[in-house]
Amino acid sequence: MATAVPVVEEAEDYSFLPIIHDVIKCMDKESPDVHQELNKLKTKIQEAREQISAMPGIDLSPALQESRLQTLREQVQTKNQLLQKYKSLCMFDIPKPS
């Protein structure tokens, strides 16, 4: 339950419709807060741009990222197997000097 709530909140955060709705409502009421709401909208759009620029891993498309992930997993698996093979090779029995 606790984990579900943040997800919902994050989804609402990314929507601009509530703010646009507030702007339109203020315009209908001819409220002096129209400008304030407009500024809020501009700020949110700007913040969204900055957040998008800072997010890691979105320079690739999901498909490309997935394929790279698969490649990395295969690499790790192959190298693990290689190391395991070399480490478990027959070692020379060096006789200890008596």
Partner 1 sequence: MAAAEKPTKEKLLSTLDDIEVLSRELIEMLALARTQKLPQPGEDTQILELLVQRDKEFQELMQTAMEQGRVHQEMQTLEKEVEKRDSDIQQLQKQLKEAEHILATAVYQAKEKLKSIEKARKGSISSEEIIKYAHRISASNAVCAPLNWVPGDPRRPYPTDLEMRSGMLGNMSNMSTNGVNGHLPGDALAAGRLPDVLTPQYPWQSTDVSMGILPPHHGNDFGLEPPGHNKENEDDVEAMSTDSSSSSSDSD
User: Alpha helices, DSSP H only, in the chain?
Assistant: 4-13, 17-29, 34-54, 62-87
How far is residue 26's CA from residue 37's CA, in Å, rounded to a whole number? Answer: 8
Contact present, 79 and 86 (Cβ < 8 Å): no
Residue 83 touches partner 1, criterion: CB under 8 A: yes
Residue 89 half-sphere exposure, CB side, CA atoms within 13 Å? 8
Binders of partner 1 among residues 59 to 78 (CB under 8 A) are: 59-66, 68-69, 72-73, 75-76
CB of 25 to partner 1, least distance (A): 11
Widest CA span in the chain: 102
Site string for partner 1, 15-44 (x = CB under 8 A): xxx--x--xx--x----------x--x---
Chain positions contacting partner 1, by CB under 8 A: 10-11, 14-17, 20, 23-24, 27, 38, 41, 45, 48-49, 52-53, 55-66, 68-69, 72-73, 75-76, 79-80, 82-83, 86
